[in-house]
Amino acid sequence: MTRPFRHEVIATTAQGLSPQPGAPAIAPLGDADEPEVRAFLRAGTVDTVVMNGLIADNGLESPFNRGTFYGCRDHEGQLIGVALIGHATLFETQHETVLAAFARLAQGYERAHVVVGTPDKVERFWWHYGAGGQKPRLICRELFLEQRWPVAALAPVADLRRATLDDLPSVMSVNARLAFIESGVDPLEADPEGFRLRLARRIEQGRVWVWCERGRLLFKADVLAETAEMNYLEGIYVHPDERGKGYGSRGLSQLGRELLKETRAICLLVNEQNKDAQRFFFRNGYKLRDCYDTIFLRPKEN
């Protein structure tokens, strides 16, 4: 659902904004920077977890990141900002001048899909980005939910397992449908080969969990990012014909017990308009931690 977006009003005051003398120097990060960057991104937020997860999976320089990692350093050479600019735009800094520099850099990337961050960070980013960047297509306020031990001990699900490539067709179909519902873009139309490759790789990494019976996918969840501090879930699905029968709660409970053996917390985002999903996660032990803004962008026309 699109909601009024006051960032668009604020952004009009930034027309003609240009880099200021003495603006922070931004440079691409290389694999040699990985230990320092991962330490900088320790905060347990969705954006830092996703960035840290991508780096853990792919390194700082990889096409699988679908963008470029940039860093900003102070006069002593210490990192004071990190951003991923590309398909997803994510950023972490406490310095307004660094945020402005990241925003101006992001204006040059014309095929971004989404910007994600806490409302105050996105508001400030958009002030610097909006006049010269891509236009919003869909704006969502989302709830950042988290689960830690203890997890409700529901009936165990012996058949919950990591997906294999044999599951790829059914998982692709479900994930494409979920992506379209969330963003309005069908990845099977926008980027079918890339979508298949990325999902196959996620399955090979053991990060897609499925529960199937008699050839039907009853429950599914993707671990999009995996760190020692937190795992970030997406694509949680229960077969429409089986909803309200406890499959979702049992699958989520079993998944929580499995994942929390290796991480301190599990988190996810749920749209503030999706009251049924909120009730489901709250009923299953998830707690509200914060709010996020997610902005889906329109590609610039050539």
- Examine the pLDDT at 14 and tell me if it is beyond 70: no
d(CA 24, CA 138): 31
- Examine the pLDDT at 16 and tell me if it is beyond 90: no
Rounded to whole angstroms, what are the CA distances from 213 to 22, 157, 207? 62, 11, 20
What average pLDDT is seen over the chain?
A: 90
Q: Please report, for the chain, the start and end positions of each structural domain, with discontinuous segments joined by +.
A: 6-141, 149-264
Question: Residue 302's pLDDT is what?
Answer: 57
Topology of domain 6-141, CATH:
Aminopeptidase (3.40.630)
- Examine the pLDDT at 10 and tell me if it is beyond 80: no
Is there a common fold for 6-141 and 149-264? yes
For the beta sheet containing 136-147, the strands, ordered from the edge strand earlier in sequence to the opposite edge, are 26-28, 67-73, 79-86, 88-93, 114-117, 287-297, 136-147, 266-271, 231-238, 216-226, 208-213, 161-162
Task: Report the pLDDT averaged over residues 207-234.
Answer: 95
Beta bridge partners of 70: 28, 83
Topology of domain 149-264, CATH:
Aminopeptidase (3.40.630)
Beta bridge partners of 95: none
- Examine the pLDDT at 106 and tell me if it is beyond 60: yes
d(CA 35, CA 93): 17
Strands 266-271 and 136-147 turn out to be antiparallel
- Examine the pLDDT at 93 and tell me if it is beyond 70: yes
Say what percent of the chain tops pLDDT 90.
85
Rounded to whole angstroms, what are the CA distances from 53 to 7, 33, 101, 121? 29, 15, 24, 21
Question: Residue 22's pLDDT is what?
Answer: 58
For residue range 133-148, what is the model confidence (pLDDT) as tens digits? 999 999 999 999 999 9
Q: Quick check: helix, strand or coil at residue 300?
A: coil
> pTM for this structure?
0.88
For residue range 154-200, what is the model confidence (pLDDT) as tens digits? 899 999 999 999 999 999 999 999 999 999 999 999 999 999 999 99
